[in-house]
Amino acid sequence: MALMLAGRVMAGPLDEPHLDILPRTGEEAGRVATVTRPATDFDKPEKFEERPAGAATVRVRDTADAFSDASGNITFEDELKFKVGNGLFRKIWVSSPSSTLASDGLGPLYNARSCQRCHIKDGRGHPPDGPDDDSVSMFLRVSIPDEAAQITEIAQYLGTAPDPTYGTQLQDHALPGIPAEYRMQIDYAETPVELSGGQMASLRSPTYTAADLGYGPLHPQAMLSPRVAPQMIGLGLLEAIPAADILDWADPDDADGDGISGRANIVWSAEFDMPMLGRFGLKAGAPTVREQSAGAFAGDIGISNPLFGDPFGECTTIQDACQSAPHGDGDDRAFEIDAEGLDLVTFYSRNLGVPARRDMDNPEVLRGKQVFHHTGCASCHRPKFVTHRLKDQPEQSFQLIWPHTDMLLHDMGEGLADNRPEARANGREWRTAPLWGIGLTERVSGHTYFLHDGRARSLLEAVLWHGGEAQSARDTVAAMPPDDRAALIAYLESL
């Protein structure tokens, strides 16, 4: 698929320059179509269902390290590469100038000093539990409407423009002598929800405020969007799903009349200088694991890299002290993390293994699976894909995987709207979150906070927040017999 821009043909969302692909044969395509059909028999688990990442699946640990193992099919030599990447993922960056030249360049503005600081144990982050909670792994994105979005080829893939003072992300930490950008303030309001069988739930609605702004007021049209760090497992497998298979699932005009209108996000790749299918981030704003990692280094930690080369990270031209502060560029690395280091972190992120399923043959779990499908949850949380056959990534090559996502954008209703566009995603749309590993969240992360900003305190609350295209499924869950609702939650906890 090609795109026509400014009178010339450009690459389109079916192009996947980040992958070295061996095309499927006709026989393989037929097998894939058969094995990825929706389930119809709920009396027993499906074949291979216990291995959600195919041969890359890992055993289930009973500790907080359940998300930290390498792909189950990784070679001995590449496991060493994985461990070196893990070391860089966990590295604590320091300010410049420093005697530790391999680790300097932090900030000057930043949200965290390491990747692991937000993705604790490679799991899900959380909002603050109180005013003194310093273990938060959450920040606010910020942007303003881009009146020139259709003028340039690249601009139309951005959807918004940076705030002229604060850029695209608010950083709540800074090096000594430089003001931090803000302090996040969250105020919750509780809303009771009546469920069938006399049961009740309560949903907390957050209001976000960028308090104690360090550089003056935000732009009058500034749009804020909260982000909690997502879990890291299975990213390489999601990256290896054929773009054509994802786009085949899209139905932007709801042609089949089922009320589900999944859309692909098309984003501009800084690495390949072309539009690509967005896959990563809460609105599918990044096309590859490498670009997502590079963006996080720059925006979250203030670390320059081959894709985002500013040594001062996200500082704007208005923030003079930030831009002129000492930085860690200029030594043999050229950037604060060089291409080799970025590739090692990318390899690590691609190969965090997905734990095996639990309790698949439990009668309540099987009943919950049936409820999941019959309620319409699988319309967006698509259970199965088969990845590309790849020449140089054996861990991700031609695997039957069960991520429970269609990788598409969906209108989730006004309740979850952040009212901030991102590329083609509008202010009510979010990418369908993968569900694999969701039942291990409390074991890994020590909490059960879900959704893009952690407002849901349980899986049931997360379901009840669904609106828009998922409103019918949400209402069905609220009205179904309590035993069916409990079975649905048991199924989700088994994933």
pLDDT tens sequence across 354-368: 999 999 999 999 999
Residue 382 carries which side chain, given as an amino acid letter? R
Supply the pLDDT for residue 447. Answer: 95
| Rounded-to-integer distance, Cα 419 and Cα 225, Å | 8
Supply the pLDDT for residue 471. Answer: 97
pLDDT band at 146 (very low <50, low <70, confident <90, very high): confident
Strands (E), 70-219: 109-110, 138-145, 160-161, 173-174, 183-194, 200-211
Supply the pLDDT for residue 5. Answer: 39
| Domain contains 239 | no
Longest alpha-carbon distance in the chain: 67
Q: What is the pLDDT of residues 246-303, one digit of tens each?
A: 999 999 999 999 999 999 999 999 999 999 999 999 999 999 999 999 999 999 999 9
Mean pLDDT computed over every residue of the chain: 92
pTM: 0.94
Supply the pLDDT for residue 148. Answer: 46
Lowest mean pLDDT among 29-43, 150-164, 274-288, 415-429: 150-164
Lowest mean pLDDT among 57-66, 136-145, 277-286, 436-445: 136-145
Supply the pLDDT for residue 248. Answer: 94
| Rounded-to-integer distance, Cα 444 and Cα 122, Å | 8
| Domain contains 315 | yes
288 to each of 105, 224, 293, 298, how far by Cα in Å?
Answer: 24, 24, 9, 16
pLDDT band at 2 (very low <50, low <70, confident <90, very high): very low
> Coil, strand, or helix at residue 400?
strand
> Higher confidence at residue 68 or residue 323?
68
Supply the pLDDT for residue 150. Answer: 47
| Rounded-to-integer distance, Cα 337 and Cα 105, Å | 9
> Do 27 and 19 form a contact (C-beta atoms < 8 A)?
no
| Rounded-to-integer distance, Cα 225 and Cα 439, Å | 26
Given a cut of 70, whether residue 153 has pLDDT beyond it is no
> Do 264 and 277 form a contact (C-beta atoms < 8 A)?
yes
| Rounded-to-integer distance, Cα 189 and Cα 204, Å | 5
* Mean pLDDT across 207-219: 96
406's tokens: 């269609």
pLDDT band at 131 (very low <50, low <70, confident <90, very high): low
DSSP string over 221-278: T-EEEEEEPPP-TTHHHHHTS-HHHHHHH--TT-TT-SS---B--EEEETTTTEEEE-
| Rounded-to-integer distance, Cα 214 and Cα 161, Å | 20
pLDDT band at 147 (very low <50, low <70, confident <90, very high): low
Say what percent of the chain tops pLDDT 90.
84
Supply the pLDDT for residue 249. Answer: 92
| Rounded-to-integer distance, Cα 361 and Cα 222, Å | 50
Lowest mean pLDDT among 12-16, 69-73, 413-417: 12-16
| Domain contains 155 | yes
pLDDT band at 133 (very low <50, low <70, confident <90, very high): low
72-75, long-range: CB < 8 A, 24+ apart: 72/353, 73/394, 73/395, 74/351, 74/395, 75/394
Half-sphere exposure of residue 80: CA atoms within 13 angstroms, side-chain side: 2
* Mean pLDDT across 402-414: 98
Q: For tokens 């009510």, name the residue.
A: 428
464's tokens: 């009840």
Q: What is the pLDDT of residues 95-109, one digit of tens each?
A: 998 888 788 999 999
> What angle separates helix 482-494 from helix 363-375, to the nearest 10 degrees?
100
CA neighbor of 477 nearest in space, from 252, 257, 201, 282: 201
Supply the pLDDT for residue 158. Answer: 67
pLDDT band at 136 (very low <50, low <70, confident <90, very high): low
CA neighbor of 281 nearest in space, from 455, 379, 405: 405
| Rounded-to-integer distance, Cα 124 and Cα 457, Å | 13
Given a cut of 50, whether residue 454 has pLDDT beyond it is yes
Supply the pLDDT for residue 493. Answer: 98
Most confident of 57-61, 142-146, 147-151: 57-61
| Domain contains 488 | no
CA neighbor of 495 nearest in space, from 351, 352, 355: 355
Q: What is the pLDDT of residues 13-30, one digit of tens each?
A: 678 999 999 999 999 999
| Domain contains 448 | no
Lowest mean pLDDT among 137-151, 202-216, 418-432: 137-151
DSSP string over 65-84: TTT-SB-TT--HHHHHHHHH
| Domain contains 369 | no
pLDDT band at 3 (very low <50, low <70, confident <90, very high): very low
Supply the pLDDT for residue 132. Answer: 64
Distance between alpha carbon 262 and the CA centroid of its chain, in Å? 17
324's tokens: 């002129």
| Domain contains 198 | no
| Domain contains 333 | yes
| Rounded-to-integer distance, Cα 483 and Cα 111, Å | 43
Question: How many folded domains does the chain comprise?
Answer: 1
User: 314: which DSSP letter?
Assistant: T
pLDDT band at 161 (very low <50, low <70, confident <90, very high): confident
332 to each of 311, 326, 329, 335, how far by Cα in Å?
Answer: 15, 17, 9, 8
263's tokens: 């859309």
> Higher confidence at residue 7 or residue 276?
276
* Owning domain of residue 126: 77-188+212-229+280-350
Supply the pLDDT for residue 99. Answer: 82
Say what percent of the chain tops pLDDT 70.
94
pLDDT band at 6 (very low <50, low <70, confident <90, very high): very low
pLDDT band at 130 (very low <50, low <70, confident <90, very high): low
